[in-house]
Amino acid sequence: MPVCVLSQSSQIPAHLTRTSISAIRTGPDWTHACVKGRVVHKDALVPLDDDDFILKAVIQDVDSSPNTTCPEISIKMLLMGSLAKDFSTTVHLGDMVVASGFSVSKSSTVKEKQHPCTLLLSGQGACVYVCSSEVNSVVTRKRSPKAVEVRHLQPEVTSVVTRKKASWTTQAPGEAKEAKYVYSRLDDLEVGTRVNVYGVVVFFKQPFKSSGTDYCSSLKITDQSNQRIGCNIFLSKLEEHPKIFQVGDIIRMHRVKVCRFNDSVSLINTFGFSAVTFDGSKGEPVEPRTSCQTIHFDEEDQRMVEQLRAWSFNQALLPTAPSVTLSTVQPSAYFDLSCQLLAKAPLDSSCTLLRVWDGTKCPHPLLKVLVDPEMTEGPSSFSPEQENLIANVLVYDNHVEVAEQLKPGDFLRIYNVRAVLGSSKVPGLAGTQTLEQDHLAFHLHRGTAYGRGIRVLPQTSPTVQELKSVIEAFMQNEDDHAMMEVWGTPPESVDTDPVSTDSITETNCRHSIDPLTLSEVKRSNPGQVHHVKVQVKSYQPQKLHQSLKLFCDKCSTMQDVPDEDHVLGLLSAASQDRGPCSAPVWALSGQVQLPVGPAGPSDLSLYFSPQLMFDGKNKQLVFLKGANLAQVKTLSASYLNIVPVRSSGGQLALLDLSAPVLFRGRRRYYGCKKCSNPAVREPSVEGVDVVSEKLVAEALGVELLRYVLLLRLELQDSSGSLDVLLWRDAELFFNVSAADAASSQKVQDHICQTMGSLCPPEGSTVWRPWLDMCLVSYEAQNDEGINQTVYQICHTKLSKATPEPDPVTSP
DNA sequence: GGTTAGGCTTTG
């Protein structure tokens, strides 16, 4: 992507959030972040091979002042491809730049005062903005000792240079040619070069721990040239490894190096490596599988995938036989089992038991394994009928570590598992059990030969969809609802009505990321955005009026809305105070007579702004003394703003801030005790058309509290459950305003009905709607001061729900 | 911009 020269830094796209260099760390998604800094070091452009380049530069934080003791922190940037080339020609030492679309990795070498991470700018999303107007100020005001040479940008370089796509092929500077990645055929790989390739996977191993520092994915690919090329991918992060689920998947790899080993050519990942995989079946939608937030994918990629699919279909590269299930498994066979994990238990240090099912019934009796319920994750026992459906898989040695990460509910593929008939000796405690003859056990042997391994399948994978429908159909036939309830298999269609899994929510965020399961979300680092498809298992508070809170934007504290009795009491107490009280010098005072009721006296003191009186707007604001709550409510029909007041030491004063500081129609406004300096003061209303709550609050020195909705939802999917907050975007979610919820029964009913439909009360637990959600995770301290990962629902809106309009919400 | 593996002829 481009290097853009901007005349003002305000031209940087608004969706980018500025981050300081010191805040950079590995883990979070930095897609929508940018950092600003001065270029204090710039290496020469290094050509990697034909059309690829790399360039190293260092930028220094612009906010760190040379006058403070705080050292000026700098960070290394690595620019790849055409961006490196553009940067090399356009950007000079001393330039102020803003970098975006980067990823962050740990630096191997760290210099003093240099950030331990490196910004990687590669691919379509990466961009560098050069702030040309700030060059002068750099030169004159703030010359860093490190900035050995500071040059002005050429004055004529003020236009914005943009290119649409990541460039791979060499271009003449300024030539706005549509650039693209060039892919090498597998029979045209020159040892020592760096290439991009497409291929059909003919063999693969799940990533396994190498003896070095990384996980290794080992695979073999082929293409129309019929060459078969081995590839080894070394990456420290499991999630960055190519997501290969089965032979026949299509993989695209960028920046792999061609090596020779034992007289055959092989590929290995190099710096800037990225991989995207696709289902290899003809006709399936072409959906890229990647953990990368920003990938380059265009019509040409679509075509490449479709061509490879067609070719591999004719070559019969995809497994054609239907996959083996528990109902079709032959004793002694090695096979790949797609299944759902129900429970697991470690048997000894080198063997873990996975209890799985796939919704089919095995014709052979299945081995039963006795395990300590204390050691079992998930249900420790099932009914005899259920037991007949559950396969016990013993996974050994290196697979134990993978098994530890699995959660009951996960959908799995277990590769090269073996069905073992006969008397199986079971390790650990279970070894003492009576051996069952001619029962079928399943073993996942140690090592990674034959691609042995376990993989969690995402909810969106066709295999999981198929598995779910098989399980569902099985449940309907067996009428075994207990089974379903135990492990929360999403019961998409159990009632008589065929219920679709269509989501009843919309997300309006612009993240294009694959949905994850909740267990995948839980395994991710905080500071990320996730998409999930979930049901609401439960929610708090059950008494929904308690979800309404008051929030101070100034001090970020939240409090409950004072209840009606409390407000009643405070006003009633204030109305009893009949002591002498002089009106403020600025105020005009008056009296009003209300019909005598059981609740109190009829004579109330009113104080007005003379300016409003003069403007004929005396109904817009009144300070009201001696009124109880009922009387305030009555007068609310006549006065736009009512400020209840009392006498304090002969002077007019506001009530305690736990009472509403202002009544405006049905709405009540409260002030923050911490941030307010309350007093009865004359509001400046000159030239004001309508007296707003803000104007009144400002005059009174009151920091108004904002109504917010706060709910805690327990979400569930087949992989487990997760507690999340609905707060920041709660109003968007329900399509209501929290302030309306505070004053309108209709809006409150709407929220209650909505929650009731998302999470039906007891007796109708079978059907719950599915919701697409966008979650953000972040770290926050709990009450004990311990850091915890918090999840919040954001950018998510219920599709249809809108409360009926309430005719008298506001005056 | 450095190591790791470099399938496989299985098995508790």
Helices (H) and strands (E) in chain A, counts: 15, 41
Q: How far is the CA of A187 from the C1' of B9 (A)?
A: 27
A586-609: b (≥16 Cβ within 10 Å) or e: ebeeeebebeeeeebbeebbbbbb
The residue whose two tokens read 């497409």 is A198
**What is the model's pLDDT at position A699?**
92
Q: SS3 for A563?
A: coil
Least confident of A156-165, A278-287, A375-384, A471-480: A156-165
Closest among A194, A111, A147, A156 to A39, alpha carbons compared? A147
Partnered with residue A355 across adjacent β-strands are: A343, A392
| Type and span of the H or E element at A669 | strand A667-669
Find out whether A578 and A626 touch, Cβ atoms under 8 Å: yes
A498 has pLDDT over 50: no
Question: Which DSSP state fits A366?
Answer: B
**What is the model's pLDDT at position A555?**
85
Gap between the Cα atoms of A411 and A337, Å rounded? 10
Find out whether A515 and A458 touch, Cβ atoms under 8 Å: yes
**What is the model's pLDDT at position A764?**
45
**What is the model's pLDDT at position A349?**
92
Tens digits of per-residue pLDDT, A233-272?
Answer: 999 999 999 999 999 999 999 999 999 998 899 999 999 8
Kindly indicate the confidence band of residue A86, based on its pLDDT and cuts at 50, 70 and 90: confident
Kindly indicate the confidence band of residue A657, based on its pLDDT and cuts at 50, 70 and 90: very high
Average pLDDT over residues A694-719: 91
Query: What percent of chain A has pLDDT above 90?
Result: 36
Kindly indicate the confidence band of residue A101, based on its pLDDT and cuts at 50, 70 and 90: confident
Q: How far is the CA of A339 from the C1' of B7 (A)?
A: 25
**What is the model's pLDDT at position A479?**
56
Partnered with residue A642 across adjacent β-strands are: A622, A663
Using the CA of A427, give the nucleotide whose C1' is nearest: B12
| Type and span of the H or E element at A44 | none
Using the CA of A78, give the nucleotide whose C1' is nearest: B1
Gap between the Cα atoms of A417 and A409, Å rounded? 20
Strands A706-709 and A662-664, bridge-based pairing: unpaired
A500, two tokens? 């679709």
Gap between the Cα atoms of A226 and A37, Å rounded? 49
Kindly indicate the confidence band of residue A423, based on its pLDDT and cuts at 50, 70 and 90: low
A797 has pLDDT over 70: yes
| Type and span of the H or E element at A512 | none
Kindly indicate the confidence band of residue A156, based on its pLDDT and cuts at 50, 70 and 90: very low
**What is the model's pLDDT at position A123?**
77
DSSP string, A163-207: -SS---S---TT--------EE-TT-PPTT-EEEEEEEEEEE---
Average pLDDT over residues A47-51: 72
**What is the model's pLDDT at position A493?**
25
Using the CA of A425, give the nucleotide whose C1' is nearest: B12
Report the nearest residue to nucleotide B3, CA vs C1'.
Answer: A212
Q: How far is the CA of A108 from the C1' of B10 (A)?
A: 39
Gap between the Cα atoms of A325 and A362, Å rounded? 8
Least confident of A303-307, A491-495, A600-604, A648-652: A491-495
Gap between the Cα atoms of A489 and A719, Å rounded? 9
Q: How far is the CA of A295 from the C1' of B6 (A)?
A: 29
Kindly report the three-state secondary structure assignment for every residue of A687-739.
CCCCCCHHHHHHHHCCCECEEEECEEEEEEECCEEEEEEECCCHHHHHCCCHH
Tens digits of per-residue pLDDT, A161-220?
Answer: 223 333 333 333 444 344 578 999 999 999 999 999 999 999 999 999 999 999 999 999
A535 has pLDDT over 70: yes
A726, two tokens? 């609905």
Kindly indicate the confidence band of residue A418, based on its pLDDT and cuts at 50, 70 and 90: very high
Q: How far is the CA of A766 from the C1' of B12 (A)?
A: 42
Could you say which nucleotides of strand B lie within 7 A of any protein CB atom? Answer: 1-12
Using the CA of A218, give the nucleotide whose C1' is nearest: B7
A392-403: b (≥16 Cβ within 10 Å) or e: bbbbbebbbebb
Kindly indicate the confidence band of residue A429, based on its pLDDT and cuts at 50, 70 and 90: low
Gap between the Cα atoms of A656 and A704, Å rounded? 14
Partnered with residue A96 across adjacent β-strands are: A38
Q: What's the whole-number average pLDDT of chain A?
A: 82
CB A450 under 7 Å to nucleic chain B: yes
Average pLDDT over residues A87-100: 85
Q: SS3 for A135?
A: helix
**What is the model's pLDDT at position A488?**
45
Q: What are phi and psi of A473, to 5 degrees?
A: -60, -40
Least confident of A202-216, A350-364, A631-645: A631-645
Using the CA of A396, give the nucleotide whose C1' is nearest: B12
Beta-carbon neighbour count of residue A781 at 10 Å? 10
Kindly indicate the confidence band of residue A483, based on its pLDDT and cuts at 50, 70 and 90: low
Average pLDDT over residues A482-491: 43
Average pLDDT over residues A557-584: 85
